Amino acid sequence: MVGIVIVSHSYKIAEGIKDLTDQVANGHKGIVAAGGMEDKSIGTDAVRISEAIKQADEGDGVVILADLGSGIMSAETAIELLDGEGIDVRLADAPVVEGAITAAVTAACGSNIDQVIAAAEQTRTVKKIN
């Protein structure tokens, strides 16, 4: 199953999004929150993200969703830290909440990493209010 890593500058936000994804993708054990710094303060840490990627990896790849620009940069650094580990890790260009939920459900249905990324990225165009 494709793993999901949720990156946020806030520990609480990442954990909250993980709680939501756990509810809708019941049974998916490869959803990991990588929010905040080790002491739960605000920030992102490439080493923590790389550890989350390893934890989320079940052999079918890992999709990362991040909240803000420096979260993306930390995720890119985390991917570089794992060079040579043989994990297919990709960043989704998607809203972190909607993208994570959609990615988790799509992954839980057994879709491959390309399908999970596509589903997450489709959430960029979803209207919430008519």
Catalytic residues: 9
- Cα–Cα distance between 4 and 91 in angstroms, integer? 10
- Cα–Cα distance between 127 and 68 in angstroms, integer? 21
DSSP conformation letters of 69-96: HHHHHHHHHHHHHTTTS---EEE--S-H
Is the Cβ–Cβ distance between 17 and 6 less than 8 Å?
yes
Q: Tell me the three state secondary structure of residue 65.
A: strand
Residue closest to 107 by CA, chosen among 72, 59, 70, 48: 59
- Cα–Cα distance between 104 and 116 in angstroms, integer? 8
